[in-house]
């Protein structure tokens, strides 16, 4: 069969890498792809926002399955357009993708179906929002309603910061129309975790849990990013907690979307805060997470492709996921200055050396070819990913690989996975008489 993957980042590289291992697949295309993806697929120069060209390409090449990576084309209706053209595509419709595309819709939905989440208020007037914040105090969370490339959320630890973020979104329009409305949420204390699940409109099949690291610097300091690394499994989510997430978050979400007339198909991502009172939903994403995908897929023993097809065909209840008895850690190497302004065009060396270890794969996130050289082309440049028998082994292997990769001004966190080690040490101490 022929498969088209839409996107150009580390998540899409991981998807292509995993799909390429399937005996069901004869040919993979990726639009637009990147130099790392080009090792497994034919890259096609079509932008992810050009839905008409993507549809025409899929028709002309008789693509059997399209897998959509980023949220923007999903929210703009790529699945609706492909379905209308008789093309099989993995992902939610625009109506279902509103679960990610609108924070207001998501909070109203969670309130209606009693999904555990933070208390909130929504505003379309900046003065009213500021008054609410001054009344309730800080810490408090400010979220732009629409898609803002992962930059629309501010965790404000004082009132002045909260007010500035409200004005930035609603008055200065730094997020454009995405900030026309905002959500102001209760600040949740705890530890974050991510659970991805396959969904076919009625059945869900959860994947292994992972944990992302959003702040740019060690110790969770500095501004939030798209993610500086991840690991899986995440010991903070015990088996009872995982079952609670499935029963109180994932199933009610898919059931509720069906009752709303927006049946959810594709990958459902639940971003969670594990609090003293149990799991609380921080956000839903309507696609594979980035960088969570880069640590979940390398642990998947099952062929990915049958699950993608089953989501499209409403046949998930016939399948069972199998996992490797391994842990996985991914460290993001970013450009200096990210998530602010950063240079491009810096020559990258050492990837081949890093991948000589058979349990290491380097997923490209922001790279391009400049003549014969591989150079930086984004804020998050590479996802250095390693498997190990356990999390400590995977951490050691990942950082050994990171040390072999170089480009001017590169930046990475040195503590990816440390929270997992803390949990494992506590468990070990609890077992010691």
pLDDT in tens, 97-138: 999 999 999 999 999 999 999 999 999 999 999 999 999 999
As a whole number, mean pLDDT of residues 49-61 equals: 98
- The per-residue pLDDT for range 63-96, each reduced to its tens digit, is 999 999 999 999 999 999 999 999 999 999 999 9
- The crossing angle, in degrees rounded to 10, of helices 251-259 and 103-112 is 100
CA 97 to chain centre: 14
- State the pTM of this model: 0.96
| CB proximity list for 427: less than 8 A, separation 6 or greater | 235
Q: How are beta strands 265-275 and 191-200 bridged, if at all? A: antiparallel
Q: What is the pLDDT of residues 397-430, one digit of tens each?
A: 999 999 999 999 999 999 999 999 888 777 777 7
In a domain, 99, yes or no: no
The answer, yes or no, to whether residue 373 has pLDDT greater than 80, is yes
Structural domains of the chain, count: 4
Q: Alpha-carbon distance 274 to 292, whole Å?
A: 17
Residues 313 and 359 in one domain: no
Q: Among 90, 111, 141, which residue terminates a domain?
A: 90
Helix axis angle, 391-402 to 418-431, nearest 10°: 150
- Asked if residue 431 has pLDDT above 80, the reply is no
Is residue 111 included in any domain, yes or no? no
Alpha-carbon distance 2 to 231, whole Å?
31
At residue 432, the pLDDT reads 61
Domain residues for the domain of 355 are: 327-431
Residues 360 and 309 in one domain: no
- The answer on 301 and 331 residing in a single domain is no
410, 333 Cβ separation under 8 angstroms? yes
Is residue 213 domain-shared with residue 281, that is, in the same domain?
yes
Residues 351, 332, 296, 12: is their CA dihedral positive or negative? negative
Same domain as 346, residue 423: yes
Residues 6+ apart with CB under 8 A from 2: 25, 26, 27, 28, 29, 61, 62, 63, 64, 65
Question: Same structural domain for residues 311 and 356?
Answer: no
Task: List the structure tokens of 233.
Answer: 């499994």
CB 382 within 8 A of CB 14: no
In DSSP terms, 144 is beta-bridged to 182
Residue 97 lies in a domain: no
């Amino acid at each position: 069969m022929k498969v088209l993957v839409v996107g150009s980042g580390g998540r899409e590289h991981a998807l292509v890498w995993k799909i390429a291992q399937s005996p069901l697949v004869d040919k993979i295309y990726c639009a637009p792809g990147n130099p790392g993806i080009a090792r497994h697929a034919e890259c096609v120069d079509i932008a992810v926002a050009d839905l008409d060209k993507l549809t025409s390409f899929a028709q002309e090449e008789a693509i059997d399955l399209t897998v959509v990576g980023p949220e923007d084309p999903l929210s703009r209706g790529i699945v609706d357009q492909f379905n209308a053209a008789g093309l099989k595509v993995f992902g939610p419709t625009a109506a279902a993708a509103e679960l990610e595309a609108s924070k207001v819709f998501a909070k109203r939905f969670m309130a209606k179906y009693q999904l555990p989440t933070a208390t909130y208020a929504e505003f379309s007037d900046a003065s009213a929002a500021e008054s609410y914040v001054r009344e309730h105090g800080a810490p408090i969370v400010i979220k732009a309603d629409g898609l803002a490339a992962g930059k629309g959320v501010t965790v404000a630890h004082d009132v002045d910061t909260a007010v500035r973020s409200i004005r930035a979104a609603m008055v200065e329009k730094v997020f454009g129309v995405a900030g026309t409305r905002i959500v102001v949420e209760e600040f949740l204390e705890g530890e974050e975790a991510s659970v991805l699940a396959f969904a076919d409109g009625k059945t869900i099949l959860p994947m292994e849990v992972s944990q992302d690291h959003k702040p740019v610097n060690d110790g969770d300091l500095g501004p939030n990013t798209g993610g500086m690394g991840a690991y899986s499994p995440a010991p903070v989510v015990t088996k009872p907690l995982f079952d609670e997430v499935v029963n109180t978050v994932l199933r009610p979400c898919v059931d509720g979307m069906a009752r709303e007339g927006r049946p959810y198909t594709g990958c459902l991502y639940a971003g969670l805060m594990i609090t003293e009172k149990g799991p609380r939903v921080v956000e839903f994403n309507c696609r594979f997470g980035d960088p969570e995908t880069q640590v979940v897929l390398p642990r998947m023993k099952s062929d990915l492709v049958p699950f993608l097809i089953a989501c499209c065909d409403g046949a998930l209840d016939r399948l069972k996921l199998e996992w490797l008895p391994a842990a996985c850690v991914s460290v993001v190497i970013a450009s200096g200055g990210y998530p602010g302004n950063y240079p491009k065009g810096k020559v990258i060396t050492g990837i081949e050396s890093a991948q000589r270890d058979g349990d290491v794969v380097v997923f490209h996130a922001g790279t391009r070819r400049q003549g014969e050289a591989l150079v930086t082309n984004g804020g998050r440049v590479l996802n250095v990913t390693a498997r190990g028998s356990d999390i400590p082994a995977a951490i050691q292997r990942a950082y050994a690989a990171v040390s072999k990769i170089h480009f001017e001004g590169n930046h990475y966190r040195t503590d990816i996975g440390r929270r997992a080690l803390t949990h494992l040490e506590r468990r070990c101490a609890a077992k010691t008489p």
